[in-house]
Amino acid sequence: MTIPKQYLHDRFILLINSVNAFLVILLAVLTFLRLDTSHSSYIVQYRSDATINAFRSGSSSELFSFIIFGFFVFAFHAFISVRVFRIHRQLAVTTLGLGTLLLVIAIIVSNALLVLR
């Protein structure tokens, strides 16, 4: 698979890719800074439908999945946007925009879970 030359010269697409890369790095840094090795368990899930014990606890390795998820989202949306750029530019921009939204939501959720400890 070759990357189209117009894709690499499109400033708006490069801007969105740069923002997504920054958000992935921000997600990784914020998650690493909030993790503490002295805590053996963290709150990793919140189930609103459970009446008792709505919070589920887990280890810090489960919170590392947010970082892996961020890298996966970035790579997947960049790959899909390159593929659909040949079809239509706005579809590639929309794909990258949805990736940005997903990364922002991942940052919010990971920080909310790490604040609860």
Q: Is the pLDDT of residue 37 over 70?
A: no
Q: Is residue 24 part of a domain?
A: yes
Q: Is residue 82 part of a domain?
A: yes
Q: Is residue 64 part of a domain?
A: yes
Is the pLDDT higher at 101 or at 8?
101
Q: Is the pLDDT of residue 26 over 60?
A: yes
Predicted confidence (pLDDT) per residue in 85-116, tens digit: 888 989 999 999 999 999 999 999 888 878 77
Q: What is the 3-state secondary structure (H, E, C) of the chain?
A: CCCCHHHHHCHHHHHHHHHHHHHHHHHHHHHHHHCCCCCCCEEEEECCCCCCCCEEEECHHHHHHHHHHHHHHHHHHHHHHHHHHCCCHHHHHHHHHHHHHHHHHHHHHHHHHHHHC
Tokens linked to 94: 């929309």
Domain that holds residue 97: 8-33+41-116
What is residue 50's predicted lDDT score, i.e. its pLDDT?
57
Predicted confidence (pLDDT) per residue in 46-87, tens digit: 667 656 667 766 667 777 888 999 999 999 999 999 989 888
Q: Is the pLDDT of residue 42 over 90?
A: no
- Considering only the C-alpha atoms of the chain, give the largest distance between any 2 of them, rounded to a whole number of Å: 56
pTM of the model as a whole: 0.83
Q: Is residue 2 part of a domain?
A: no
Q: How many independent structural domains does the chain possess?
A: 1
Tell me which amino acid residue 9 is: H
Q: Is residue 1 part of a domain?
A: no
